[in-house]
Amino acid sequence: MKFSIINLCALFLIVFQQGSFAQQNKQWRQVTNDKGIQVYTIDIPNTDIVKAKAIAEIKVPLIRVRDELDDIANRHQWVPFLKQSKLIVMNSATKRIEYSLFAAPWPASNRDFVYSLELVKESSDQLVFKMHSVKTHMMPENKKHIRGEIFESIYTLTKINENLTRVELSYHADPKGWLPSWIVNIIQRVLPYKILRNLRQRLEHHIT
């Protein structure tokens, strides 16, 4: 009996280690490389929704990209399907809670999100902003919309030189509702690409 228990424990340890090793070695897969924008996806444990990231270089100083990200009132001009975005509360100089409402084609319902946006890293050559959904009594759910969930979204702005910035956007969210996972995964791949494409066009075409 003692020998069997030891063998069972050893087998469990081997399987656990193999599973952990497999998870650690999951690789980002490139799914798009178009007009200088690369898009990658990766599988996430315990969900059918993939995580995506897009990478682009924008020919403006890093501070210009930051200013555009912080311009809540005009964000709808470059974020696809965004109808409204507004500040709910400013927690500190580096952390705030925002609200965004996205249009959806009929017969789907519009989606809205309430999320924390925090500047988690700031240096002379890099800024990192993280977002995730939060609940607050200041913006309760509206029956006209479906409240989606942002698991994690990250903007990483890296200075390449004085007039060139590398922007990486990772995105992992669930729009909720009746949408099947294969449609959600199409959105996951397309949205970061379109966001960076539009952001690049807006910034490079408005150089002063």
132 assigned to some structural domain: yes
- Write down the pLDDT at residue 162: 97
pLDDT at 14 over 70: no
Which CATH number goes with the domain that contains 88?
3.30.530.20
| Encoded tokens for 10 | 């050893």
pLDDT at 16 over 80: no
Which of 86-95, 115-124, 177-186 comes out lowest in average pLDDT?
177-186
- Write down the pLDDT at residue 207: 56
22 assigned to some structural domain: no
48 assigned to some structural domain: yes
110 assigned to some structural domain: yes
181 assigned to some structural domain: yes
The backbone torsions φ and ψ at residue 6, rounded to the nearest 5 degrees and listed phi first, read -65, -45
Number of structural domains found in the chain: 1
141 assigned to some structural domain: yes
Confidence band of 23 (pLDDT split at 50, 70, 90): very low
CB count, 10 Å around CB of 118?
A: 17
What pTM was estimated for this model as a whole?
Answer: 0.84
- Write down the pLDDT at residue 77: 95
If you count them, how many residues does the chain have? 208
9 assigned to some structural domain: no
pLDDT in tens, 128-179: 999 999 999 999 999 999 999 999 999 999 999 999 999 999 999 999 998 8
Q: Which of 158, 171, 131, 151 is nearest to 40 (CA)?
A: 171
Beta strands 111-122 and 146-147, pairing class: parallel
* Domain assignment of residue 182, given as a range: 28-204
The backbone torsions φ and ψ at residue 105, rounded to the nearest 5 degrees and listed phi first, read -65, 145
8 assigned to some structural domain: no
For the chain, helix (H) and strand (E) counts, in that order, are 3, 10
pLDDT at 40 over 80: yes
